[in-house]
């Protein structure tokens, strides 16, 4: 990963995601692009937002440079008044973005059920790896990575194995967690996908686990607590699973939605 796009709205959540990302890539030279969306349907508000954002972006850039522990990093501040999806897609194309970072505090909000928040919009519409960083997440080494799966995507093995090329994952143990509401057994296609994962990771610390629960988010939460997981990973094509775990977890008592980053691979 060389080019990373971070979305900001000047909130504590977005600042926390910046600090997390700086620590995650402290040992690698990264070109960071900080995107602030300033769109509004009201012309006066557009003018006011632009004036305020100019000053706030300057302050943010200085704050980032003072906090940055790798002076080889570069930072580019970007303002865009278009729809956030269009703005993000433009940066993806213009700057060859490898990863998008989103800070959030609303994963367990009851309002999510009736709204399209930014995480959902980007994960479903922008073809790029995306990491969602909750508001209380603090970076630590990725000792245990949970890959949530239903073994229905044959690309999962390559996607996950390619992830290991990045330094933060070199020493990680991968927990492949099969989540299901009722089925303990898997069909032939699922078994083939599971065996492919095992073949890719035969020389890498990993294991396979199963959790059966009518609420998949609760099952994931229990597994994360049991295994001290530092990161949740899943494939972007598993939209049904992502919806239940990330977009609409439907449980206000989940711990991972407030503290454990969620990486979606494309």
Cα–Cα distances in angstroms (integers) from residue 120 to residues 112, 183, 242, 251, 262, in the given order? 10, 27, 9, 17, 12
> Taking residues 32-43, what's their average pLDDT?
70
- Whole-model pTM: value is 0.90
Share of the chain above pLDDT 70, in %: 89
Q: Name the pLDDT band for 47 (thresholds 50, 70, 90).
A: very low
- The DSSP bridge pattern shows strands 129-134 and 262-265 to be antiparallel
Q: pLDDT at position 46, please?
A: 43
Q: Give per-residue pLDDT as tens, 98-107.
A: 999 999 864 5
Query: Does 113 score more than 60 pLDDT?
Result: no
> Taking residues 114-124, what's their average pLDDT?
75
Tell me the helix, strand and coil percentages in the chain, rounded to 5.
40, 25, 35
Contact 105, 137 (CB under 8 A): no
Q: Give per-residue pLDDT as tens, 189-237.
A: 999 999 999 999 999 999 999 999 999 999 999 999 999 999 999 999 9
Segment holding 61, helix H or strand E: helix 43-67
Beta bridge partners of 90: none
Q: Name the pLDDT band for 238 (thresholds 50, 70, 90).
A: very high
């Amino acid at each position: 990963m060389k080019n990373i796009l971070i979305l900001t709205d000047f909130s504590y959540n977005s600042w926390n995601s910046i600090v997390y990302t700086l620590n995650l890539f402290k040992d690698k030279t990264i070109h960071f692009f900080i995107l602030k969306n300033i769109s509004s349907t009201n012309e006066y508000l557009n003018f006011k937002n632009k004036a305020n954002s100019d000053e706030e972006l300057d302050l943010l850039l200085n704050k980032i440079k003072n906090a940055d522990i790798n002076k080889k990093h570069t930072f580019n501040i970007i303002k865009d008044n278009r729809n956030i999806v269009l703005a993000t897609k433009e940066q993806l194309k213009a700057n060859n973005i490898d990863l998008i970072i989103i800070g959030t505090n609303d994963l367990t909000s009851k309002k999510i059920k009736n709204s399209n928040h930014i995480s959902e919009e980007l994960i479903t519409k922008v073809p790029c790896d995306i990491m969602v960083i909750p508001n209380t997440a603090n970076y630590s080494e990725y000792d245990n990575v949970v890959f949530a799966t239903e073994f229905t995507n044959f690309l999962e093995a390559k996607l996950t194995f390619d992830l290991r090329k990045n330094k933060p994952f070199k020493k990680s143990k991968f927990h492949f967690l099969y989540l299901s509401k009722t089925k303990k057994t898997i069909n032939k296609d699922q078994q083939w996908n599971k065996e492919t994962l095992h073949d890719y990771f035969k020389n890498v610390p990993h294991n396979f686990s199963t959790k059966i629960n009518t609420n998949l988010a609760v099952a994931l939460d229990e597994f994360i607590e049991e295994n001290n997981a530092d990161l949740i990973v899943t494939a972007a094509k598993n939209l049904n699973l992502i919806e239940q775990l990330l977009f609409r977890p439907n449980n206000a008592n989940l711990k991972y939605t407030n503290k454990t980053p969620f990486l979606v691979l494309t």
